[in-house]
Amino acid sequence: MSDLGSITSTPTSPKFSATRYWFNSWAVSHQHQLPPNLCHPPRSSNTSPPPAEARPSPPTMAKAMKTLRRSFRAFFRSSHSFTATAALLVFPVSAATLLAHSLALSSPALHAISSRLAFLFEAAGFPLSQFFSLLTSKLSQTLFTSAAALPFALTFLVLAKASVFLIIHGSTPARRSAMPSISSLLRLYPPLALTHLLNSLFILSANAAVLSLLFLAFNVLSVLHLATSAAVLAVSASGVILYSFVLANAAVACNLATVISAADDSGGHVSILKALVLVRERTATAVTLSLPASMGTVAIEALFRYRVMRPHRTPSGALHPLVICEAFPIIYMHSLLLVLDTIIACIFLRSCRPSCDEYALDRESVEKNLWV
C-alpha cells in the first residue's frame, strides 16, 4: 500500500514511470481483449472543432433543400403578412402578366415584333431552322409580355418585394406578422425601382451577348465552308445550352440584386455586380433554387391559358362571366409564387453573407481588438 500510495502521489517518480510503461506494453499486446473505452478513450469536451476550411462542404442539393426549408418556414411563420402582400400588391402584376401572356398570340403587335426579329436573324446569317423560329417566337412573346406588364412591375411588384424584405428582416415578431408601413415601403422604393430597370437592361444585354456569339459562330462556319448540317446542328445545340445557362444565371443575379438593393438601401449597377459576385461561387445552388419558381410560373401560365382563355369564350369572342371563378384562384397562385420566390432570394442572401446584426457585432469585436 505504501508503494501504491507513493506511485499515485508522485506521478513523476521512477516507480510510476515503470508501472505506466508496463501497463502500456500489456495494453498493446492485449488490445483485442480490452473494452473500446480503454483502447480509444473519448475525446475531451474542450477539444476545438476542425477549422472551417477542413470541413467538407455539403452538396449542392443539400444546400438548396436547406434554403427551401428555411424559406417555407419563414413563409408559414408570417403567412398572414405574405398572403396579404400577395393579394394587395402582387395580384395586379400577376393579372397583367397572365393576360398579356395569353393575349400575345392574337395580338398584331406580337406578329410585328416576331417578323422584325425573323428578318433580323435572316439578315445576320442565322440558318432557317426550327430552333431559331422557336427562339424568335419566344423572344417576341417575352418582349411583348414584359412591355405590357412593365408599369405594374415598376409600381406594385417593386413595393411587394420591399414588403417581403421588411417582413423577413423584421426585428420583432410583431413586425414580422404585420404589413409594413407605407413610409417604409416608399423609403425602399427608389433603389428597388432603379435596380428593376437595370435588371431589364441586363437581361436584354445577356440575350444580345449570346446571340452575338452565335452570329460569330455561324459566320465563321460559312467563311470556312464548314456549314454542313452536322456542324450547324452542333453549333445550334451548343447555343441552346449556352443560352439557357446565361439566362438562368442572369435571372438569378437580377432577382438577388433586388434583395441586395433593399438590404443596402442603394440601387443601381452596384447591386447587380454584388449579386454576380455572390452567385459566382454558388451557381449550382442558385440555379437549383430558381427552378421551382420557373417551373411553377410556366405551369400556371399554361393553366391560365387552357382553363381561362380558351374554354370560357362565347361565340362572339367575349369572355364568359364564369371565367372569374377560375381566373382569380389561378392569378392568386401566381402571386403567391412570386412572393415565395422573393422569400427564397432573401434567405439565400442571408446564407451567402452575414446579416446586419451579425455584421455589426463582428465590426464591434474588431474595433475592440484594435483598441486592446
User: Where do the structural domains in the chain lie, given as residue ranges?
Assistant: 61-351
Whether 125 has a pLDDT exceeding 50, the answer reads yes
17-60: pLDDT as tens digits: 555 555 555 555 555 454 444 444 444 444 455 554 444 556 77
Q: What is the mean pLDDT of the chain?
A: 77
Q: In the structure, what pLDDT confidence band is assigned to residue 93 with cuts at 50, 70 and 90?
A: very high
Q: Where does residue 201 rank: exposed (0-12), middle (13-18), buried (19+ CB within 10 A)?
A: exposed
User: Mind listing the pLDDT tens digit for each residue in 258-310?
Assistant: 999 998 888 888 999 999 888 887 888 888 888 888 899 999 988 888 888 76
SS3 (DSSP) at 45:
coil
Q: Flag whether pLDDT at 313 surpasses 60.
A: no
If you compute the radius of gyration of the chain from its CA atoms, what whole number of angstroms results?
31
Rounded Cα–Cα distance for residues 38 and 34 (Å): 7
Instruction: List pLDDT tens digits, range 218-267.
Output: 888 888 877 788 888 888 888 888 888 899 899 999 999 999 999 888 88
pLDDT at position 144 is 87
Query: Of 270, 254, 152, 158, nearest to 202 (Cα)?
Result: 254
What pLDDT score does 53 carry? 44
Q: Name the least confident of 40-49, 67-76, 184-193.
A: 40-49
